[in-house]
Amino acid sequence: MSFSVIRSCPACGTKNRVSARHLADTGRCGSCKTPLPPSAEPIEVGDAGTFEEILRDTKVPILVDFWAAWCGPCHAAAPEVHALAQEVAGQALVVKVNTENLPALASRYGVQSIPNFVVLQDGKVTFQQAGLVPRQQMRGWLQRSARVG
């Protein structure tokens, strides 16, 4: 089964499935045809298959936030990561990976300390940095990866 996000229509409340391929696109409600804006929330990845599908199907840059529940700096970064997702909606995606739940995925990207941020474009790493940073710096990484406002 393929990954999708359930998004409620702002006009009629109908729940709409949005596939990984269209998370950065403006769509339309299947019921009332009202525009559904692009994903503006960090996407919590629960398994490696979902991560792979997002990576394969998304055509915009992806900022991956590798984090863990016990990590204080990760909790401090969370509001910045969330705000960034809102700012870059339609131009990039923000994905969160809990390293406690997906250690093999963290290992694949050489994550040894968290928070750890990885920018991916077309499935390739374009930038990676560990440590707490301001949202403006994260946005700069995405801008260097592709044309993100």
Beta strands in 68-123 (DSSP E): 93-98, 116-121
Question: Is 12 known to be catalytic?
Answer: no
CA 29 vs. chain centroid, Å, equals 22
Compute φ and ψ for 79, nearest 5 degrees.
Answer: -65, -35
Catalytic residue selected from 9, 12, 32, 74: 74
- Annotation marks residue 9 as catalytic: no
Q: Under a CB-based contact definition with an 8 Å cutoff, are residues 127 and 136 in contact?
A: no
**Residue 137 tokens, joined:** 């710096």
- How many angstroms separate the CA atoms of 77 and 144, rounded? 21
φ, ψ for residue 139 (rounded to 5)? -60, -40
Q: Which residues are catalytic?
A: 71, 74
